[in-house]
Amino acid sequence: MSQPIELEGLRVTVDRVVFHPEAKAPPERPYCFVYFVTIHNDSEVPVTIRGRKWVVRGDDGDVSVVEGDGVVGQTPLLQPGDEFNYNSFHLLHTLSAVAEGAYLGVDGGGRPVFTRIPRFSMVVPPTD
């Protein structure tokens, strides 16, 4: 398989990031952040999203990489002009971190393509 190209017009917005202190999280990763993402296909070709890669950097220097098939258990087909909205979460062991990454897919001609997930911050708010 050839190297994926960054497809012009395929883009991602991180619409909202919410700290969720009530989440049932394991003690080793007690801080839960829910993020809301939209994948926009403003290109001229259909695109099927087949995978993702996230890189999360904690404020302690720890880096975790999460790769997997699909997006929230789906492989959405986005026709030109379509968008795919979803939400998911990251569990952190530090009070702040940044996340970024990419979605990987194929266009209507079978070419491997990708689009970047813009960097966003997750910061536990101070308590009073």
Indicate whether 85 belongs to any domain: yes
Contact 89, 68 (CB under 8 A): no
- What's at 54, amino acid-wise? W
Does residue 82 lie in a domain region? yes
**Distance, C-alpha 88 to centroid of its chain:** 8
Number of domain units in the chain: 1
- pLDDT one-digit tens code per residue, 91-100: 999 999 999 9
> Is residue 107, in this structure, part of any structural domain at all?
yes
Q: What is the pLDDT of residues 33-83, one digit of tens each?
A: 999 999 999 999 999 999 999 999 999 999 999 999 999 899 999 999 999
Percent of the chain with pLDDT over 70: 98
Q: Would residue 128 count as lying in a domain?
A: no
Dihedral sign (CA 102, 67, 78, 89) = negative
CB 67 within 8 A of CB 56: no
Q: Which structural domain, as residue segments, surrounds residue 93?
A: 5-123
- The mean predicted confidence, pLDDT, of the chain is 95
pLDDT at 2: 77
Write the CATH number for 100.
Answer: 2.60.40.1470
**Domain membership flag for residue 79:** yes
% residues pLDDT > 90 (the chain): 94
pLDDT digits (tens, 9 = 90+) for 97-125: 999 999 999 999 999 999 999 999 999 99
